[in-house]
Amino acid sequence: MATVCTDEFFSLGKAEAEFLGMPGLPIAAIPHPMAGQPEEYVAGAAERVYQELLYILTTDSESLEREYSEKVVQPKKKSRLKHKAVFGDEFSESEADGQIRAPESSDAVNRIFYHRGWTDGLPIVPPSEKRLENMLQKTGWMRDELVGKIAPKDGEATVEKIAANAIMAGCLPEHLAVVIATVRAMTQKALNLYALQTTTHPCTVLVFVSGPLSDELDINSGYNALGQGFLGNAVIGRAVRLLLINVGGASPGVLDRATHGSPGKYSFCFAENESENPWESFHTEKGFADATTVSVAGTEGPHNVNDHGGKTGEEILTTVAGGLATPCNNNAYLRGEPMVVLGPEHAAVIARDGFSKRGVKEYLFEHARVPISSISKGNMDWFTKNHPGRFAGLTGRDSVPLVDDPDEFMVVVAGGMGRHSVVIPTFGGHTRSVTVPITDSRGDPILPEVE
């Protein structure tokens, strides 16, 4: 096989080849970008790389492996892939070791961890053996238990590794079960974590908690629920991101190819506001009436739905539908499970006017449709080529839904008072949300403490 990619993506191809156990996989590089180029330019690139392709297809495989295991391609457009060399590496312990001898100073530890690309850019809590033992002793988890393998490198997420990254994020022992449940959820095939981690799309792993434990764990569901200020939101989401970096192996510009990324890649965790929810809770809807659940989904960041003037549920849902149906999000052509976070005031009006949660979904299915007239010709050609069943034959007067079935909308209630809701597009139909209960080390759902 001869693999061809543009020079900008050579490092991704090389990293994937190494992950597949083939560091010498021959990869031919052509100039980036190919997308958007005229046909003659693309044909010219094929002509210029032909000799290398022929070489790769006909040369002795052992010679090829030796040669290509050393090959490095620097793209013409320089981008900063390595962490800024502000800090030197102050010690030389092997990265392969499970434990590291490090200076006592947390400043020094932070310099080293940042330099090695083991952080999200913010200071971390050093994951000392002492802190780990304290966390495991208080929660009863066994450090060698394997919870899952995190893509793209399929790094083994043992309880020890999960706890280490949770400590770095600032988690308390009480948060460990939530992070473990999140790992259990996000390593399920349905989420397609490999794609979320390596795409150019800005998606992150959204962590949504539904159930009575969220108050005990200080996971905010009220004012500023999607923002800063509460420990649970900050540290749980952050622990997940550190695991995706350190155990999944996705670093910006190498395996993590997000063009822009988003602030949600620092932390994106919030809880359901059950007290203001006029319908059944999300955890009940998912079949876990007696548990607190964690749901993960591959999503963009949130987009506000400002409706101060709508007097009826239908009017508010019209605005929500308009916020969802844009030609620039992936659900427009890949369908999926876009999330709607209704603010309590909007939810109250919608419920008052007789909408059930299912009724909300059905309304959005009918009205959240992207007009074909809003899609560029180039995108329409691309959508039609790859998804003819959805786009072939459509004209400017037509529109397309964002989901295949109304039930695919995820509808939750969160936030404080104010005439706002939020829509959160997802990465598309090739990633599916996963919901699991939060359990203890014995596998039993954790229940809130009775006062």
Partner 1 sequence: MAQILINPRGVFQREVNPIAPRPESLDNKVLGLVENSKDNADIFLDAVRQRIQKSWNIKEVIQISKSISGTPAPYTDAFFDKCDIVVNAFGD
Map residues 119-148 to x or -, x wherever contact with partner 1 holds by CB under 8 A.
-------xxxxx-x----------------
Binding segment for partner 1 (CB under 8 A), chosen from 81-89, 156-164, 287-295, 299-307, is: 156-164
Of the CA atoms within 13 Å of residue 436, those in its CB half-sphere come to 23
Phi, psi of 208 (to 5 degrees): -120, 125
* CA pair distance 303, 173, nearest whole angstrom: 33
Instruction: Provide the minimum distance between the beta carbon of 357 and partner 1 in the complex, in angstroms, as a whole number.
Output: 29
CB nearer partner 1, residue 49 or residue 447: 49
Binding segment for partner 1 (CB under 8 A), chosen from 57-65, 216-224, 321-329, 404-412, is: 57-65
| Residue 445 DSSP code | B
Taking CB under 8 A as the criterion, the residue among 431, 434, 438, 446 binding partner 1 is 431
163 binds partner 1 (CB under 8 A): yes
Per-residue tokens: 25: 């996989």
* Per-residue b or e along 191-208, where b marks 16 or more CB atoms closer than 10 Å to that residue's CB: bbbbbbbbbebbbbbbbb
CB nearer partner 1, residue 54 or residue 328: 54
* CA pair distance 408, 414, nearest whole angstrom: 19
258 binds partner 1 (CB under 8 A): no
Report yes or no: 207 and 268 within 8 Å, Cβ to Cβ.
yes
* CA pair distance 216, 214, nearest whole angstrom: 5
| Residue 252 DSSP code | B
CB nearer partner 1, residue 8 or residue 345: 8
Count of residues that bind partner 1 according to CB under 8 A: 96
* CA pair distance 326, 332, nearest whole angstrom: 7
Kindly report the number of other CB atoms within 10 A of residue 33's CB atom.
Answer: 12
Per-residue tokens: 6: 């543009």
Instruction: Provide the minimum distance between the beta carbon of 71 and partner 1 in the complex, in angstroms, as a whole number.
Output: 13
Task: Measure Cα distances from 89 to 80, 86, 113, 117, 119 in Å.
Answer: 18, 10, 9, 11, 14
CB nearer partner 1, residue 252 or residue 428: 428
Taking CB under 8 A as the criterion, the residue among 387, 419, 432, 440 binding partner 1 is 387
Instruction: Provide the minimum distance between the beta carbon of 31 and partner 1 in the complex, in angstroms, as a whole number.
Output: 12
Taking CB under 8 A as the criterion, the residue among 61, 74, 356, 376 binding partner 1 is 61
Taking CB under 8 A as the criterion, the residue among 80, 86, 107, 154 binding partner 1 is 154
349 binds partner 1 (CB under 8 A): no
CB nearer partner 1, residue 117 or residue 278: 117
Map residues 176-205 to x or -, x wherever contact with partner 1 holds by CB under 8 A.
----------------x--x---xxx----
Kindly report the number of other CB atoms within 10 A of residue 393's CB atom.
Answer: 7
Taking CB under 8 A as the criterion, the residue among 37, 137, 312, 373 binding partner 1 is 37
* CA pair distance 341, 426, nearest whole angstrom: 13
400: three-class secondary structure by DSSP: strand
Instruction: Provide the minimum distance between the beta carbon of 155 and partner 1 in the complex, in angstroms, as a whole number.
Output: 2
CB nearer partner 1, residue 152 or residue 344: 152
Query: Binding to partner 1 (CB under 8 A): which residues in 76-115?
Result: 95, 97-104, 109, 113
2 binds partner 1 (CB under 8 A): yes
240 binds partner 1 (CB under 8 A): no
Binding segment for partner 1 (CB under 8 A), chosen from 219-227, 287-295, 379-387, 442-450, is: 379-387
* CA pair distance 161, 416, nearest whole angstrom: 36
**CA angle at 199 for the pair 196 and 205, rounded to the nearest 5°:** 25
Instruction: Provide the minimum distance between the beta carbon of 170 and partner 1 in the complex, in angstroms, as a whole number.
Output: 14
CB nearer partner 1, residue 163 or residue 364: 163
Report yes or no: 325 and 373 within 8 Å, Cβ to Cβ.
no
Task: Measure Cα distances from 49 to 6, 41, 54, 241, 321 in Å.
Answer: 11, 13, 9, 38, 47
Task: Measure Cα distances from 54 to 1, 23, 46, 73 in Å.
Answer: 11, 20, 12, 19
Q: Which positions ≥6 away from 31 have C-beta within 8 Å?
A: 6, 7, 45, 76
70 binds partner 1 (CB under 8 A): no
Binding segment for partner 1 (CB under 8 A), chosen from 78-86, 149-157, 204-212, 220-228, is: 149-157
Q: Exposed, middle or buried by CB within 10 Å (0-12, 13-18, 19+), for 48?
A: exposed
Taking CB under 8 A as the criterion, the residue among 114, 136, 160, 292 binding partner 1 is 160
Instruction: Provide the minimum distance between the beta carbon of 142 and partner 1 in the complex, in angstroms, as a whole number.
Output: 15
Map residues 400-429 to x or -, x wherever contact with partner 1 holds by CB under 8 A.
---------------------------xxx
